[in-house]
Structure 1
Amino acid sequence: MVHWYESSIDRQLREATERGEFDNLEGTGKPLRGHGRDYEEDWWVRDWLEREGATAGVIPPTLALRRELEDLEARTDRLPAERDVRDYVAELNERIRKANVGLLDGPPVVLPPQDPDQVVTAWRERRG
Structure 2
Amino acid sequence: MERYESWVDRQVREAQEQGKFDDLPGAGKPIPGVGGPHDPDWWVKGLMEREQISPPLPPAMALRKEVAELPQTLADVRDERVVRDLVEGLNQRILDLRRRPVAGRPVFVATVDVEAAVTDWRRGR
TM-score, normalised with respect to structure 1:
0.50
Corresponding letter in the other structure for 1:76: L
Q: 1:57 to 1:124 in 2, by over 3 A?
A: same
* Alignment partner of 2:109 out of 97, 111, 114: 111
Q: Which has the larger radius of gyration?
A: 2
Specify every segment of 5 or more residues in structure 1 that has no aligned partner in the other structure, as ranges.
1-54
Q: What is the CA–CA distance in structure 1 between the aligned matches of 2:103 and 2:93, rounded to whole Å?
A: 11
Q: 1:123 to 1:104 in 2, by over 3 A?
A: farther
Equivalent position SS for 1:93: helix
Q: Deviations over 1:73-112 (max 9, x none)?
A: 1011122210110000110000111222336878522121
Corresponding letter in the other structure for 1:69: V
1:69 aligns with 2:74: no
Q: 1:103 to 1:85 in 2, by over 3 A?
A: farther
Specify every segment of 5 or more residues in structure 2 that has no aligned partner in the other structure, as ranges.
1-47, 49-53
- Counting matched residue pairs gives 75
Q: Do the aligned partners of 1:77 and 1:123 also contact (CA within 8 Å) in 2?
A: yes
| Structure 1 runs of 4+ with >4 Å offset | 103-107
Q: 1:79 to 1:97 in 2, by over 3 A?
A: same
1:24: which partner in 2?
none
Q: Do the aligned partners of 2:91 and 2:112 also contact (CA within 8 Å) in 1?
A: yes
* CA RMSD in angstroms, aligned pairs only: 2.9
1:60 aligns with 2:39: no
Percent identity over paired residues: 36
Corresponding letter in the other structure for 1:116: V
